[in-house]
Structure 1
Amino acid sequence: MEYRQVQPATALQPYIQCFGILEDNNLYGETKTFKIIADGCPGLIFQENPDSFLDKDRHKLPQLFIQGLTTSNSQKTTKGQYRNIGVYFRPDAIKSIFGIDANELTDGYIDLDDVVKNNLAEQLLGETQIDKRVKILSDFISRKIAANRYRQNPKVAYAIAKINSNNTGGLYKIQSELNLSERSLERIFKTNVGISPKLFSRICRFQAALDFIRNRTFNSLTELAYQHSYADQSHFIREFRAFTGASPKQFLSHANEQLPNFPEWEC
């Protein structure tokens, strides 16, 4: 299995984190299981082989689909060869690209054709070179942004930046700085991001701690828990299980993570 990233053009960086290419020859056709980990980001996924992946209920995924923000652990399975390319969006990009409320897709996915009629899959199948596929996707997203009357909400963007910067004042300070009530901030956050700012903050804290787990740059789980403002080690492990479906020890033992937050789970 191989994974690589391509950075978006400057004009698309407020909307796109990166393009990711995941492929596996899997010549022997064995079934593989992948964990889906809460990551706080939606995406647009293209499967060269439309039969590549099944969701947790063993339903075949569309060839080209929008994946909403994930808030809990799940899994997908695959058998045989696959070659996928994903557009990994910023947390608040769905509304300003596709014009749909982000909370409609939270923990789910939808065939792109059900959102907007297009021939994007055919265009992508007509090219095999990654740079040309990236350009096709970039041009499509640029056109969607230009045609969409809804723009990214600057207050939501500000709140996301503060949460990601390990804001010490908490959500109350953000509400005060934006002159928003708790209810107002939650409303615009759910529309633009898909979840409440409190849950988004929990996911960001978990992801920050997960980076230490991935890189094995921690001395103890207790120290890691306090470093990321968890009440104690037990609190951290409960959150870790909620977002990954495994303990930190199990994650280190079984996760082959080429694509961040989508590890192959090796038994």
Structure 2
Amino acid sequence: MNMRITHIKPYPQLNGYVSKIWVFESSGRIPAEDMRLIVPNGMVKLTIPFRNGVSGKNETMYHLSKESRLTLIGIGDIPAIIDVEQDKPSGTIGIEFSAAGAYRFFQLKQSEVKNRIFLLDEVLDHTARQVQEMIANHGSVAKKLHVIQQYLIGRLQRSSADHLIDYCVGLIKNTRGQITVRQLEQKTGYSSRWLNDRFQHKVGLSPKNLCSIIRFQQFYEPWARSGRHFNDNLYHYFYDQAHFIKEFKRFTGLSPLKYTKSENEFGRIFYKD
């Protein structure tokens, strides 16, 4: 069984809001020995299966998206298992939104979709169904990508920025998750409770939780790209080794040792160029 991923450069109008666009294709069902594990990366996702259906499950729910159904995957802080519906060739378009970008497209309380999966037309207005039909009617993947990006640009233009959220998320990213909530309080003049409420609404996670995911990704992403053994010099993102192991198990469901002995080529492919 062959898998490949093609990274697509977002239209310029989406820069800063859309972090990644990719097209995943496989020749059949992902092998049973592959964990098919997706770890949290601090991004809301929109997926469009254009060949075969796709299922996703975590510790709280299971969802099957049929072919051509636009699917919104809320920001997560627990791992998920992905699979295709049938053992035949599959293809899926994926769009991943920055932590400070999703609220511009989806005017929802982001904490209400956290760790959950919805059909887009269940949570948005009638335009979601209209664009879904347009995408289904185009046979070309390039045309599907054009339609969905134009739709997102339209939604972006009708929304307004929350400059405080943008500023705070920028600080978290620039410090690689090593800024404290106390420091955010000092830099913004707002209390931790107020910041937490704002983050829950616009991001879906607390500032502390988002920091934890960003720190974990500093360790996980380079490893996923290279496939080499974990590098001890990345422990400086954590208080100590025990803290690292605790966070690793939280976001993967496994200890580092058990994880490195398992196969997860599917999960790693999304980090490769």
TM-score range, shorter chain: 0.7 to 0.9
Q: How does 1:129-208 map to 2 (within 5 A)?
A: 129-148=140-159, 151-166=160-175, 170-208=180-218
Letter in 2 for 1:60: L
Q: How does 1:82-101 map to 2 (within 5 A)?
A: 82-101=90-109
| Residues 1:216 and 1:129: Cα distance change in structure 2 (over 3 Å) | same
Paired positions, count: 255
Quick one: distance in 2 between partners of 1:239 and 1:30? 27
1:24 to 22, 26, 33: 26
The corresponding residue for 1:46 is 48
| Residues 1:217 and 1:8: Cα distance change in structure 2 (over 3 Å) | same
- The worse-fitting range, judged by mean Cα deviation, of 123-132 and 177-186 is 123-132
**TM norm structure 2:** 0.84
| Residues 1:212 and 1:8: Cα distance change in structure 2 (over 3 Å) | closer
Letter in 2 for 1:156: I
Identity of matched residues, %: 19
Quick one: distance in 2 between partners of 1:173 and 1:30? 46
Q: Could you list the per-position Cα deviations for residues 197-240 of structure 1 after superposition, in whole angstroms to 9, with x for gaps in the alignment?
A: 0000001000101134333677754x432x21x22212201111
**Shift of residue 72 of structure 1?**
0.8
2:57 to 32, 55, 58: 55
| Residues 1:218 and 1:172: Cα distance change in structure 2 (over 3 Å) | farther
| Residues 1:219 and 1:246: Cα distance change in structure 2 (over 3 Å) | closer
**TM norm structure 1:** 0.86
| Residues 1:183 and 1:232: Cα distance change in structure 2 (over 3 Å) | same
- The worse-fitting range, judged by mean Cα deviation, of 158-167 and 234-243 is 158-167
| Residues 1:176 and 1:35: Cα distance change in structure 2 (over 3 Å) | same
**Shift of residue 54 of structure 1?**
4.6
Q: Could you list the per-position Cα deviations for residues 176-204 of structure 1 after superposition, in whole angstroms to 9, with x for gaps in the alignment?
A: 11111111111111111001000000010
The corresponding residue for 2:78 is 72
- The worse-fitting range, judged by mean Cα deviation, of 153-162 and 139-148 is 139-148
Does the aligned pair in 1 maintain the 2:221–2:271 contact within 8 Å? no
Q: Does 1:102 align with 2:104?
A: no
Quick one: distance in 1 between partners of 2:140 and 2:221? 31
Quick one: distance in 1 between partners of 2:22 and 2:163? 27
The corresponding residue for 1:264 is none
| Residues 1:29 and 1:236: Cα distance change in structure 2 (over 3 Å) | closer
Letter in 1 for 2:75: L
Does the aligned pair in 2 maintain the 1:50–1:61 contact within 8 Å? no
Does the aligned pair in 2 maintain the 1:2–1:23 contact within 8 Å? yes
Quick one: distance in 2 between partners of 1:146 and 1:177? 29
Letter in 2 for 1:134: L
Q: Secondary structure of the equivalent of 1:8? A: coil
**Shift of residue 51 of structure 1?**
2.9
